[in-house]
Amino acid sequence: MFRLFFTPGWFNGFDLLFDSIGLVVALLIAAYSWRIYSFNKENKFIYFSLAFLLVSVSLAFKIFTSGVLYYFPVRETVAQVLGPVAGSRLKYSALFYRAGFFFQMACMLLAWLMIFLVSQKSRARLTKFYEVTQIGLFMYLLLVVSVISNFDYKIFYLTSSVLLSLIVLNYYKNFITTRKKSALKVMAGFLFILAGNLISIFLFLQNGYYVAGQVLTLLGFLILLQTYRGVMRR
Amino acid sequence: MAVRRSRLELVFDILLAIQNKGGRIKPTHLMYKSNLSHKLLNGYLEELLQRELVILEEEPAKKNKRPLKAVRITDKGLSFLAEFRRMREFTDAFGL
């Protein structure tokens, strides 16, 4: 059976629960950003909404693929569905998992790239031709990274960490400018997600790091949720 | 150099100026408070009236004088203000 990396058996299912919480938080932020776009028609809000939508799609792919891997009855059902396509012995089951992980990684990396670009606040971004072509190149490279990460998961977490570091830096600058508690919370949220990704790079040393990575990522999303709630209470 | 206010921010400034004056303000005062020219303010007021965010009221006339007009913010205008504050908080928090 295809596995990108091995996780502690007792933790199977908890990570899916954590990812579901992250998915809901990402959807809430995406929905509110979409609402602001419908109000003032500024492009940056639709890109921000799309970025968080991609985060939720990525987490949905992760939940589905990992769920199929963890639980035997689900695997059986998927095998029956894929049977006519892949043959009775399901020789291509690895292809299914690889496709699942590819979409998970590609969506997540593209989401981080979009959040990084939107949080940069450059007026020329996403309008000028040379900027758009550069973004196109970044997207291509991220897709390549996603394919390669299917053979070595470390590359995904490393690329994700680099992008998240740049996002954290942008949000640090934002906090310095605005001096708002909510801006600090958003920076802290992304900092926790970054820490989760950094720890996950070292999964090859010990699979317990997966638990630490997941818990830190969950904390990051919970801080983002708290910021969102704070905004809504106003 | 001061940053140019967006259309939505101008609407917010106008409504905020009315709210800060207890929900009712004279057009001339509104012009100074929102830092807009007479022509621009009239354009925005017309739009706000159409969207029912404000209403025009006439104050009772004093001796030998014309009746005075005042702009009053509506409930819809107040809820718009609250929504705009939320959006601004979100925008500031997420660095947009």
Single-letter code of the amino acid located at B36: L
Q: Which of A36, A38, A225 to mutate to test the interface with B (most CBs of B within 10 A)?
A: A36
Give the per-residue pLDDT at B62. Answer: 66
Give the per-residue pLDDT at A98. Answer: 80
Distance of CA A138 to the CA centre of its chain: 17
Q: How many Cβ pairs within 8 Å bridge chains A and B?
A: 54
Q: What is the pLDDT of residues A58-67, one digit of tens each?
A: 999 999 888 8
Identify any residues that bridge with B24 across adjacent strands, giving them in sequence order: B72
Q: Which of A29, A34, A116, A234 to mutate to test the interface with B (most CBs of B within 10 A)?
A: A234
Identify any residues that bridge with B79 across adjacent strands, giving them in sequence order: none
Three-class secondary structure of residue B25 per DSSP: strand
Segment (H or E) for B72: strand B68-73
Report the helix count and the strand count for chain B, using DSSP H and E.
4, 3
Q: What is the pLDDT of residues A76-102, one digit of tens each?
A: 676 667 666 666 555 556 777 788 888
Domains in chain A: ranges and CATH: 9-228 (1.20.1070)
Q: Mean per-residue pLDDT for B6-32?
A: 85
First-to-final CA distance of chain B: 20
Residue B84: pLDDT above 70? yes
- Judge whether A161 and A194 are in contact, CB under 8 Å: yes
**Mean of per-residue pLDDT scores for chain A:** 84
Residue B16 burial (CB count, 10 A): 16
- Judge whether A111 and A139 are in contact, CB under 8 Å: no
Which of A8-12, A143-147, A172-176, B58-62 has the weakest average pLDDT? Answer: B58-62
Contact list in A for residue B90 (CB cut-off 8 A) is: 32-33, 36, 228, 231
Q: Which CATH class is domain B7-89?
A: mainly alpha
Contact list in B for residue A234 (CB cut-off 8 A) is: 82, 85-86, 89
Give the per-residue pLDDT at B4. Answer: 65
* Paired tokens of A234: 């106003």
Q: How far apart are CA A169 and CA B49, in angstroms?
A: 44
Contact list in A for residue B95 (CB cut-off 8 A) is: 119, 121, 170-171, 173-174, 178, 183, 186
